[in-house]
Structure 1
């Protein structure tokens, strides 16, 4: 059949769809007898079958159209634009295709990928849902949906979607890898570790799989196995900086001269690639700088350590482009908006459940230690750093003002019913994290300090604990730390000082307008008098004192944070005054902190 004859036949089949689906189906099948790779004919057949109520056959025809897409020049061009990250070109081509045929599931899936790449996960989810409605057996779309769920922190949904995909494609390592990562986010550590074990057996030379395996082993406290996994990953790819940083991030390991030499060699290679235009090596460079900073810090070579820390932070700061004025503006708006009268008018709003215990404050301020202490109590369950409160706040801002940062304004205008709904949504979303029958559970996300007014409003009976550490020790610890994601404020000393200062400002305001609603744990006081501070903490939570809380280091629970290995040791003062050898470089931090330094409770003991 000549091209023009083929096009005419397709046009005729499309016309028949309007009033005679039987004839349209016959025409489509006639075309396919001659051109079995005609994606358009498969789609027409799907339309006709659906009109005839033959849904199962229609779904099969839609899948056949997907398979034939590789012979469709326009779709091949769109796929090429996607692979080259020419997203506007891909989006234009795909929208044009869907204007012609809104049921082209291959085009729908690819448009969802465009949406996902630019962070429009809600749009991606809707598109993928439509693709799967038309072709439930479309495994690639379901796998994409699992990824979209994962990106939205909906890990249980991701696992459910992956179970369906893996059932159809059990040998695909990418699906198993994503499932293991998602399981780790909802406390399914045993299954995740088993999956990683199987994957590393199948792909023993895959460095990133060994690294992910090491992460999960670290989380459950199997430090020796974790180190072995990281070392195996390094043997496979000594230039992958993230593996070296993962090893450094155990905190308890010390690098020897051979390790430093290997990292320096890897850094030279990464720097050379960067000079040749290999921007993809920036992540290797920053991870190697952070790991070398740790190595030279351990060796007390502080000039070299600071040089590497500063270089790694500079790379990451350029990637993130944090704006301190945006955080300051949110804090200013919160202080202006959330007055005593505001809370008095909404006294009995929100969900009354008392179950959540929020531990918040600056990262690296001792919140993991407080969590480990409380999670050793018979009535309190530890979970992890949950993303749900920021998601609720930013979602409210986007829904109301099309801008997440305007959540303060949106919350102030929210009616009683919406406030209760937000509280219920938090409880429902975090239920998957609860693995025991304990009445209380912990959300230990430090950055929740910014959302304390929201927490007080939507969950008025929840308890809030502010973990606070000396500003120089805390901020220096952040500067030494490369975070897997978030904490964009922490890569410039001046930004970090401003962030700490804004945190103190908002918490002081909360103390004034909601007195007694936040219990503050000063890290240095906890180190000096563990039993007294733990008793005061449990009194705030209306829980009896238990000796197990002082033996927190014996608790075998999984811990995901950078302090995971540190809280498996008894209380110690190893982290106190670690900023002192670097005092000469901390001027920008001190200037940004301003009066916060002198106001800190332990100032006389810790300032030089």
Structure 2
């Protein structure tokens, strides 16, 4: 039978009243032993009587200044009494005395999260990862992963996993490195293996859900997350990931509601405020978005994501006072990620104020930081075009006509970002037969998997496999189709690279090429800081080369698959909206509907950076906005070459 001291300590977790009774008895019996007094103080705190615990703990701390657990309990009692600064000081003292005191690090992490102190929270998470690893080498790697120093962690983990290939924590950490490198399939494999070795691990299951989400596979991510939410429905990390998955699936109202609840529960956390702002913006709640961005800035004035989110509303949301604040921030020492976003925010404010020269300088500074952040390597566009033309010849497509899935539901809207595709989507989504979804990743994922099989994989595929590819795309897109309409839109602009695959696997799908003046489209992309992807947009020269690659790719399919692509010029749409909409609907085989001309009354969620613009009637003021910046766009004009003037041309490329 355990002794009374052990029984008192064991009762603390779920029977603090019992612990108090036993501890009081022991204090009387053993007045010289500090342990009963520490248990008594802990019991009192757990019973909501921190004011009574505090004198006991203060006396113990004076008598035993090197006792880490006393400092930990003292910190928690001070926190319960809202003496936050003293509480944090005592918790820090506890982990200095005992760097392996996990409960103290957990308390630091939780308090830092609630206070929105990301740096302090990350430090605690790194320490907990080291402690939980149970191995010095693995612990060091775990710290590095939490600190996002994946390049240093990966060789340590590779060595560890080679020696212990079934170690769940080693596998989990290696998967984190894979996610950072966008190796989502490899991460999923590692995490499933880790989960088979430790099926009860919530941490591994959560990482699996996160990896699936990062790979834009929201449905399986939700399935992985479900048991965690069932066991702990109030967990902020789980709910945050749930909201992100709902947003990815198009349930923007649901995502906004969860983010609003989290913002109310953690009013001092600027990251949660930013998430709420993003969700409110997508859901069309402009004023709520502005208020949330402003709240995030008030909580963390150096936070670039909130500043850029506010600037990116594109409705003149930044003021003269904001401009002063942004200049002050840029004059100080900032992490590169924060500086990058604040450069873009200030540039947007200066552009709105008519200061083109200064705005261009700050856009260029932001773009330079973005190029470093995304580690973008220039692609070989001529080689990509040659591969497309060699593979998707007229003969290749003709020999496989009708092989794919014949469902006519998909409408692919392709082109360059910032070319008017969101406007076209909004117009089409106002038609009763068409549902707007979002920029779906599924065709790109399918193309990547086929390409991974080698150059011969596509040519070797037979009718059954080709049809299955099309059916797989439709099955993936199905969850985004909430309105039961005949057609749906996939607005991923970079799908122009996959026109051949679309034509092969979904021969009845419609493809709409939305094309804009190259100087306007490319400059609009250059001054946009994208959430992810579009890395070519941070260099004017590469933007011009990418635009030419896009034109050449579309022109190839004009000859290789006549009628497969309908080109709509953004400028023509602005000049004569009804004519262009009628022609577009005729191409889609649909009757004209006047609702398409009242697209700005459509209250559907819009996820792209043009969300505010497409909620207004069409206006011409943005067509030539780039001309104010023309003196600085020489590298773009040079890279565009002859396509700067003949961009409207839709004739096919000459034969190879």
TM-score range, shorter chain: 0.7 to 0.9
Instruction: Tell me the TM-score normalised to structure 1 length.
Output: 0.82
Query: Which residue, 172, 178, 181 being the options, matches 2:244?
Result: 181
Residue in structure 2 matched with residue 268 of structure 1 by the alignment: 331
| Separation in 2, partners of 1:75, 1:475 | 46
Residue in structure 2 matched with residue 395 of structure 1 by the alignment: 449
The 1:77/1:553 distance shift into structure 2, 3 A limit, reads closer
Q: Does 1:474 align with 2:521?
A: yes
Residue in structure 2 matched with residue 600 of structure 1 by the alignment: 647
Secondary structure at the counterpart of residue 543 of structure 1: coil
Rg larger for: 2
Q: CA deviation at 1:116?
A: 3.2
Residue in structure 2 matched with residue 153 of structure 1 by the alignment: 216
Q: 8 Å contact 2:551–2:647 — kept in the other structure?
A: no
Q: CA deviation at 1:69?
A: 5.8
Query: Which residue, 79, 83, 90 being the options, matches 2:157?
Result: 90
| Separation in 1, partners of 2:481, 2:472 | 15
| Separation in 2, partners of 1:114, 1:497 | 33
Q: CA deviation at 1:75?
A: 4.6
Q: CA deviation at 1:208?
A: 1.3
| Separation in 2, partners of 1:138, 1:198 | 27
Number of aligned positions between the proteins: 517
| Separation in 2, partners of 1:317, 1:241 | 17
Residue in structure 1 matched with residue 28 of structure 2 by the alignment: none
Q: 8 Å contact 1:356–1:462 — kept in the other structure?
A: yes
Which deviations, in whole Å up to 9, do the C-alpha atoms of 1:465-501 show, x marking residues without a partner?
Answer: 0001111111111111110100011111110000001
| Separation in 1, partners of 2:141, 2:589 | 61
Query: Which residue, 202, 225, 230 being the options, matches 1:167?
Result: 230
Q: CA deviation at 1:574?
A: 2.2
Instruction: Tell me the TM-score normalised to structure 2 length.
Output: 0.76
| Separation in 1, partners of 2:315, 2:130 | 52
Q: Does 1:210 align with 2:264?
A: no
Q: CA deviation at 1:530?
A: 0.8
- Within a 5 Å distance, the mapping from 1:563-602 to structure 2 comes to 563-601=610-648
Query: Which residue, 352, 369, 374 being the options, matches 2:428?
Result: 374
Q: Does 1:331 align with 2:385?
A: yes
| Separation in 1, partners of 2:631, 2:130 | 64
Query: Which residue, 255, 270, 287 being the options, matches 2:318?
Result: 255
The 1:129/1:324 distance shift into structure 2, 3 A limit, reads closer
Which deviations, in whole Å up to 9, do the C-alpha atoms of 1:514-546 show, x marking residues without a partner?
Answer: 112211111111111111111111101111111
| Separation in 1, partners of 2:624, 2:480 | 35
Residue in structure 2 matched with residue 32 of structure 1 by the alignment: none
| Separation in 2, partners of 1:80, 1:364 | 40
Secondary structure at the counterpart of residue 568 of structure 2: strand
Secondary structure at the counterpart of residue 360 of structure 1: strand
Tell me, which stretches of 5 or more residues in structure 2 are unaligned? 1-128, 650-656
Tell me, which stretches of 5 or more residues in structure 1 are unaligned? 1-65, 274-280, 603-608
Q: CA deviation at 1:170?
A: 2.9
Q: CA deviation at 1:73?
A: 5.0
The 1:438/1:68 distance shift into structure 2, 3 A limit, reads same
| Separation in 2, partners of 1:252, 1:497 | 28
Secondary structure at the counterpart of residue 131 of structure 1: helix
| Separation in 2, partners of 1:68, 1:564 | 45
Secondary structure at the counterpart of residue 125 of structure 1: helix
| Separation in 1, partners of 2:434, 2:348 | 34
| Separation in 2, partners of 1:111, 1:322 | 23
Query: Which residue, 374, 379, 397 being the options, matches 1:320?
Result: 374
Q: CA deviation at 1:68?
A: 10
Which deviations, in whole Å up to 9, do the C-alpha atoms of 1:82-123 show, x marking residues without a partner?
Answer: 45642211221233133xxx3x43344334334434433223
Quick one: higher RCO (CA 8 Å, sep 6+), 1 or 2? 1
Q: CA deviation at 1:70?
A: 5.4
Q: 8 Å contact 1:553–1:570 — kept in the other structure?
A: yes
The 1:298/1:316 distance shift into structure 2, 3 A limit, reads same
Residue in structure 2 matched with residue 197 of structure 1 by the alignment: 260
| Separation in 2, partners of 1:530, 1:117 | 44
Q: CA deviation at 1:547?
A: 0.6
| Separation in 1, partners of 2:299, 2:607 | 25
Q: CA deviation at 1:254?
A: 4.0
Residue in structure 2 matched with residue 440 of structure 1 by the alignment: 487
| Separation in 2, partners of 1:351, 1:592 | 39
Query: Which residue, 345, 365, 382 being the options, matches 1:311?
Result: 365
| Separation in 2, partners of 1:366, 1:349 | 32
Which deviations, in whole Å up to 9, do the C-alpha atoms of 1:211-270 show, x marking residues without a partner?
Answer: 11111111111111111111111111111111111111111124221010111112222x
| Separation in 2, partners of 1:471, 1:76 | 51
Which deviations, in whole Å up to 9, do the C-alpha atoms of 1:372-418 show, x marking residues without a partner?
Answer: 000000000000011111111111112x13xxxx6xx6434433333
